[in-house]
Amino acid sequence: MTSVEEPARPGERIRDAARTRAEILDVATAEFARAGYDGARVDEIAARTRTTKRMIYYYFGGKEQLFTAVLERAYGVIREAEQQLDVDHLDPVAAIRRLAELTFDHHERHPDFIRLVSIENIHDAEHIAASEELGRMGSPALDVIRRILAAGQESGLFTADVDAVDLHAMISSFCFFRVSNRHTFGALFGRDLVAPGRREHYRAMLGDMVIAYLTAERAAD
């Protein structure tokens, strides 16, 4: 019989604040996205980590702050993706389509992000309100849209009288809903909006919709 007291491997447990913090954030993201804020269990997060619950309180202070940190990181990811976007060499129509597809792809690839945002809305965005970081964090996408829109309207190509924020809402709504409401929509209408086989179909549909709206012939007024 080996001694129970004997540690499995001495020295394996190396202290690394950054790694521990990051690991907690990873696990917490999955747990909050899985079960919602109130459904998520701090003990469960701790159990799936190589550390203990004590560390969650040590690094983050509490469940609320942990959720806020999770949100901050999740929003940081999409902000980074938007910053990578370079559409200055494209004509307005292609540029808008490219931007819409970026949102489409990001939302599809990050269903946990969508769930976290849904959860935050159920809580009236109070964690965003409590976060300094999320307050200052602007939206690169909005700047891009503003530039494209100005060019398109200038040239007369875009006839719609719409501003960047509303256009962003239009694009986001389609991309977001497709992921966020996947389950109820699927259960009620028998169609999986996120089925891989329909991906290109919806991606094209989004672009067509936005371009059609922006370039539609309008009655003079």
User: Please, which residues have CB within 8 angstroms of residue 40's CB and are 6 or more apart in sequence?
Assistant: 28, 31, 32, 34, 63, 67
CB of 32 to a copy of itself, least distance (A): 10
Say whether residue 43 binds DNA (CB under 7 A): yes
Number of residues that bind DNA (CB under 7 A): 23
Nearer to a copy of itself, 16 or 38 (CB): 38
Query: Judged by CB under 8 A, does residue 103 bind a copy of itself?
Result: no
Residues 103-162 binding DNA (CB under 7 A) are none
Structure token digits, residue 162: 């719409």
Q: At its nearest, how many Å lie between a copy of itself and the CB of residue 102? A: 17
In 3D space, the residue among 175, 183, 181 whose CA is nearest the CA of residue 78 turns out to be 175
Please name the amino acid found at residue 58: Y
Of 8-16, 23-31, 47-55, 127-135, which part binds a copy of itself (CB under 8 A)?
Answer: 127-135
Contact 24, 67 (CB under 8 A): no
Interface segment toward a copy of itself; rule CB under 8 A; list 3-11, 20-28, 47-55, 157-165: 157-165
Q: 130: which 2 tokens?
A: 């409590």
